[in-house]
Amino acid sequence: MGFHIIDSYTFSHFFFGFICKLVIFSNIPLYSFIISNGIHLIVEINEHNYDNNNKQLESFTNHLGDVIAFFIGWYLCYYFNYNLSSKKKLDVFLKYFLLSIIFIGLYSETSREIYPYHKGYIFGLCKGAFTK
């Protein structure tokens, strides 16, 4: 949440873009691009920009920066051709570990910004932006 193109969450968007390319249809770049960047764009579009008092919490510029950072992370993973093998046990473990990080990140982003009054029912984590 912010007003600038780069904020404290920019690196996390970059990081999630990178690992989404590793995990989501990593061997079919077009599917990986459409699914991972598409889901991220949908989340960004549906975020709440104002609180109950009509105070602006996030700007279009910030959303644009988040989408660009995610894309750059995804693209760098694609450009340097990072891949996880489905035959090596460590790579299979790493793929599922990274997939779980993606789901936690998606849950966190959704809870915090799309459902800002969410109480964080899973161990009290990922509370909405408007909860105390």
Q: Is residue 126 part of a domain?
A: no
Print the SS3 string covering the chain.
CCCCCCCCCHHHHHHHHHHHHHHCCCCCHHHHHHHHHHHHHHHHHHCCCECCCCCECCCHHHHHHHHHHHHHHHHHHHHCCCCCCCCCHHHHHHHHHHHHHHHHHHHHHHHHHHCCCCCCCCCCCCCCCCCC
What average pLDDT does the structure give for the chain? Answer: 85
What's the pLDDT score for residue 91?
82
Residue 29 lies in a domain: yes
128, part of any domain:
no
Structural domains of the chain, count: 1
53-111: per-residue pLDDT in tens? 888 888 999 999 999 999 999 999 999 888 776 677 778 888 899 999 998 888 888 87
pTM value surpassing 0.75: yes
Whether 121 maps to a domain, the answer reads no
In a domain, 47, yes or no: yes
pLDDT at position 124 over 70: no
Q: Which domain holds residue 81?
A: 10-114
pLDDT beyond 80 at 112: no
Handedness of CA 57, 62, 67, 69 (dihedral sign): negative
In-domain check, residue 89: yes
pLDDT average, residue stretch 16-38? 93
pLDDT of residue 9: 87
Examine residue 125 and state whether it is found in any structural domain, yes or no.
no
Assess if residue 35 is contained within a domain.
yes
